[in-house]
Amino acid sequence: MKVLGILGSPRVGGNSDILLEQALLGAREAGAEVEKIVLCRKKISGCLNCEKCNETGICAIKDDMLEIHQKILEADCILHSVPVYFWAMTAQMKAYLDRWCAFFDAEWRWHKAYYPKMKGKRIGLITVCGDPDVSTADPIVHSFKSTCQFTKLQWVGVVQASASARGEIDKNEAAKKKAYALGRKGATP
């Protein structure tokens, strides 16, 4: 079992990263091989909607997303962690998620080269917002849950937490336990 963690926060070591590390620890302790990608350390351009990938299954933009596509294909579970920036996901996470379109054909079905590798893949999400009302992150949750429903991927769950100051979430034992449990769930067949 391979679990891929995707950090969509540009603040490495911050609240979203702390919770992602807890989720990856849970996955590792459940026996999974884990890897983390920090999106702000990658060069990822926005989708150009050129539709070249519809035919080939390979994105025409030559950047780090091509390598990330391969890691997604190799993973059994992908856990995403992202803070709320202006009531939405970060620009890094949005560019990453938009580039998933390379996995589809012109009719928005899995591209024939990817269907067997994407079928049954699991997706989880962690969101952190500065607002005490964690439902502020609901639009992000909606984006990821809708992606799962549309693509028939397995939704393993979401952890929504509130924290503002860098590292503040480290004091929230309940949120850390939920993230850990999400990681274990993602790594358990």
Stated as kind and residue range, the H or E segment containing 19 is helix 15-29
pLDDT exceeds 90 at position 109: no
Taking Cα atoms as reference points, which of 106, 109, 99 lies closest to residue 152? Answer: 109
pTM of the model: 0.95
**Mean per-residue pLDDT for 118-141?**
95
pLDDT-based confidence at 119, cuts 50/70/90?
confident
pLDDT exceeds 80 at position 85: yes
Burial call 26-44: b when 16+ CB within 10 Å, e when fewer: bbeebebebebbbbeeeeb
pLDDT-based confidence at 120, cuts 50/70/90?
confident
Q: How far apart are CA 57 and CA 51, in angstroms?
A: 10
pLDDT-based confidence at 54, cuts 50/70/90?
confident
The DSSP output letter for 2 is E
**Mean per-residue pLDDT for 11-36?**
98
The CATH classification number of 2-187 equals 3.40.50.360
